[in-house]
Amino acid sequence: MSSPPPPLPFKVTPQVFHVLLSLVDGEMHAYGIMKAVESRTEGSLRIAPGSLHFTLTKLLDASLLEEVEGEADDTGDSRRRLYRLTERGRRVVSAEATQLARTVEFARERNLIGER
């Protein structure tokens, strides 16, 4: 079991969690992150471009993400930035997912939600 990540200078909000979660399987550009979050949450969480840019900057500054060199996309546009989780980012999203799982289990034990 890995050690917990160092404290962050901000709270892991649902938006931050979902951005990090979007990058667990690999690199993605901002538009892809927005669409992944919207799809995974069935539209209940939509991140506006300006809000996503702010969040990405915050996560980069906290060393949870890093930018990677990317190739041109399908349109030939090489200006899109690709992001990926750092090891610290992976530990943070893992710790948050573990805490959320505990919360869900607590709610299940009290018959607040059913089994899936």
Domain hosting residue 28, numbered range: 14-109
Identify the pLDDT of residue 91. 95
Read off the pLDDT band of 45 (50, 70, 90): very high
Asked whether residue 9 is assigned to any structural domain, the reply reads: no
- When divided into structural domains, the chain yields a total of 1
Distance CA 110, CA 15 (A): 27
pLDDT higher than 90, residue 25: yes
CATH number of the CATH domain containing 102: 1.10.10.10
Write out pLDDT tens, residues 74-99: 555 566 799 999 999 999 999 999 99
Q: Is the Cβ–Cβ distance between 47 and 15 less than 8 Å?
A: yes
Domain membership flag for residue 99 = yes
- Residue 4 resides in a domain: no
Whether 62 is in a domain gets the answer yes
